[in-house]
Amino acid sequence: MADQQEPHKKLIVALSIVIPLAVAVLFRVPPIPGYDFSFLPPVYATLNAITAVLLMTSYWAITNKKKALHEALNYTCIGLSSAFLIMYILYHMTSAPTPYGGYGLARVVYFFVLITHIGLSVVVIPFVLFTFSRALSGNFERHRRLAKFTFPIWLYVAVTGVIVYIMISPYYRT
């Protein structure tokens, strides 16, 4: 019975563990020299911004019974988030971390936003994948119940990703 309700459970659990671990490892190994992906941060920040707009549009679509639009927008959001993850990994595999150079209240705000963004970016992975899986398997009641939590978390992660980029962008090495 549990496999029928959660047909992708093992894959989702595996991805929910492997993805954050892989990202965490990036900050423990030296960057691979010889590659310049310094152009990626504004690109993946833009993907986050587009994701945020599309998530809000998707919410509007489903509340207005535009199921096909809702579905298409969510596929797009998952694609954008996947592209973000690939670009984020490429950048951090090949670039040294950028320390935040601000001070005072700006520093407190930056680290609050960064820490909550990172924590919720780990949490949102299984939320998005289980919500998506439930829709794919036609379990729309369970999909809706989980989506009530997934949507605001995913939206927060997308928006704060842009905020983190804006706040740290003056300190990127050129």
Give first-to-last CA distance, the chain, whole Å. Answer: 55
Residue 7: pLDDT over 80: no
C-alpha distances (whole Å) from 70 to each of 54, 126, 149, 163, 167 are: 9, 20, 17, 26, 32
Of 4, 8, 19, 10, the closest CA to residue 133 belongs to 8
Q: Which two tokens stand for residue 112?
A: 């609050």
Helices 67-94, 140-168: axis angle to 10 degrees equals 40
Q: Over the stretch 52-106, which tens digit does the pLDDT of each residue have?
A: 999 999 999 999 999 999 999 999 999 999 999 999 999 999 998 899 999 999 9
- pTM for the complete prediction? 0.92
Q: Which domains occur in the chain, in start order?
A: 37-171 (1.20.120.80)
Query: What pLDDT is stored for residue 91 in this prediction?
Result: 93
- Whether 10 has a pLDDT exceeding 50, the answer reads yes
Q: What is the pLDDT of residues 74-88, one digit of tens each?
A: 999 999 999 999 999
- Tokens of residue 65, six digits: 């019974």
Amino acid at 48: N
- Distance between alpha carbon 97 and the CA centroid of its chain, in Å? 19
* pLDDT higher than 80, residue 173: no
Report the pLDDT value the prediction gives residue 3, as an integer from 0 to 100: 57
pLDDT computed for residue 140 by the predictor: 95
